[in-house]
Amino acid sequence: QISLAAELRSCSTVKDLTRAKKIHQAILRNNQHRKDRYLNNLVIETYGKCGSLAEACHAFDSPFCSPNVFSWTIMVTAFAENGKLEEAKRAFDSMPEKNIVSWNSIIAAFAREGRLEVAKGMFEAMPVHDLVSWNSMVTAFSRARKLDSTRLLFDSMPEWDVVACTGMLHAFGEAGDFANAQRLFEGMAEWNAASCNAVIAGLTSSGKLEEARKVFDTMMSEVVENDPQRETLLPERNLVTWNSMMAAYSQAGKLEEAKVLFDRMRSRNIVSWNSILQAYAQAGCIEELEQLFELMPERNVVSFTCLLQAYADNGLLLQAKRLFDRMPDRNVVSWTTMFQAYTQNGDLEQAKLIFNAMPERSVVSWNSMVATECASGHPAKAKGVFDAMPEWD
RNA sequence: ACAUUACCCAAUGA
């Protein structure tokens, strides 16, 4: 039972639906296990994490499952994580009983999608708040780059932990308010890698590479565990720390520095690989970029978009379109990149075809369209697009 | 024993 649980958890981590189903079958074959609520809940959760809402619902509706508040909350999260926010809300509303975690889950779901007003409404409607409720709101506003609201929320909190502070640090960093970031950082009761990483990312977004590197260098490396300076150092670096610092160099076109870090890393994930791709892209090394793209262990929509953008920057429209057509997934960023590939290379016709075909448009897509009409001497058309554009926050 | 929150990669602009 313990090992079954561990197996299911590992399926969640690697999103292995096939193995999850096998384990589920094994559970169903055992009279004890199949009515075990703990295991049933874990099965539902695992299906959700593996992207199969159908299986999750099926397990939830099974006669062997007598749902408790955990099961319901897991369903809410499963719907939300698979893009079914309205279903999540419906599940939440039909819960026979709710606890604070159920409330926090639905708030986090809306917050994650940027539905700040809904999240705020539910936050105000819930009977009691805990740190997680507050933190979810702080990070939602922080991610939406609403510095003032983030600050108001943060200042209204009854108590703070490192998660709350990291959210606030992120907001200050994005806004370039380093004085406040520093003040907050120095006053924190404890630091961990995430809070330091937020500082590195904030400095990076304003191009303060040297400052970011100082923080990076002051964090503990794996090597200095018995260093006499240990007490004076910040917490130990993790994978995100390395990725953040490398991304700083990549975005700045500092290929050599990025490569050095990439080679020094003890472990890498797809974000590390995408960052090094970007380093080559920014340095204009298209051939190496293509080689790396083929060679990397896995690719996601970010990897494809990075190469797509590089093609566009180098006027390689045919390659760009060919790549776009063979992308396994496209999101609003990749669509907008393809759109801009055409506008930046003067092909308004194709650009408009893409724009009209886009399944979803972001504020960036609309801004680009307006800018394109302006740049091509069509102020009246630009105004038309501007008027057609929805209002954003 | 099981559910909820923070930090890293790609598109426009400041």
- DSSP for A22-69 reads HHHHHHHHSTTGGG-HHHHHHHHHHHHHTT-HHHHHHHHHSTT----H
- List all residues 6 or more positions away from A339 whose beta carbon is below 8 Å from its beta carbon: A351, A354, A355, A358, A365, A368, A369
Which nucleotide is at minimal CA–C1' distance from A272? Answer: B9
Closest residue to B4 measured CA to C1′:
A105
What's the average model confidence in pLDDT over A165-177?
Answer: 97
CB-contacted nucleotides of strand B (7 Å): 1-13
Please tell me the distance from the alpha carbon of residue A264 to that of residue A271, in angstroms, as a whole number. 15
Which nucleotide is at minimal CA–C1' distance from A139? Answer: B6
Closest residue to B1 measured CA to C1′:
A38
What's the average model confidence in pLDDT over A65-92?
Answer: 96
Rounded to whole angstroms, the distance from the CA of residue A211 to the C1' of nucleotide B2 is 43
pLDDT confidence band for A224 (50 / 70 / 90): low
* Summary mean pLDDT of chain A: 94
How much is the pLDDT for A324? 98
Percent of chain A with pLDDT over 90: 90
The interface predicted TM-score (ipTM) is: 0.93
Which nucleotide is at minimal CA–C1' distance from A39? Answer: B2
